[in-house]
Amino acid sequence: MRPKQGTLMKLYASWGRVRRDGNVEAYARTILTRVFIDQYRKRSWREEPTEEVPEPVSAEPPVTPELRLVMQAALMELPPRYRAVLVPRFWEDWSVEQTAEALRVTPGTVKSQSARGLVRLRGLVEGLAGETSGR
């Protein structure tokens, strides 16, 4: 939508109030300015049509045997309570509720243990990956 169209739509929607106040030009100018600023801010979020469909980008890195071994070693160094939450949640792709039910804990416990466990796991993986690349 263009700023002029958006301004007219918003002005029409609030016409009764604007007409009572009497200062239509000032109100329209304010709306136009705000619509323009909003569009400028949202421009990067808008989808743009293209002639070719882009190739899908995989969010996950390819799983190599080395990565799998590093992950398993890092998981084994985690405390059992973190491992008990992380393996079903992310390795088995269970929901928070499924994991909570299986472990007989609250969903909040699963979320907090997942967050803490992931922080520790990242640190361990970075350390182990650094050791294997230095060989």
Q: With a cut of 60, say whether residue 134 has pLDDT above it.
A: no
Gyration radius from the chain CA atoms:
27
Residue 13 pLDDT class (50, 70, 90 cuts): confident
Q: Which two tokens stand for residue 112?
A: 């907090």
Tokens 């390819």 sit on residue: 62
Output 16 or 131, whichever has higher pLDDT. 16
Out of 6-10, 31-35, 64-68, 97-101, give the one with best mean pLDDT: 97-101
Query: What is residue 44's predicted lDDT score, i.e. its pLDDT?
Result: 57
What are 87-110's pLDDT values in tens digits?
Answer: 899 888 889 999 999 999 999 999
Q: Where are the alpha helices (DSSP H) in the chain?
A: 3-13, 15-21, 24-42, 65-77, 80-86, 96-103, 107-133
- From the number of C-beta atoms within 10 Å of its C-beta (0-12, 13-18, 19+), residue 19 rates as exposed
Residue 45 pLDDT class (50, 70, 90 cuts): low
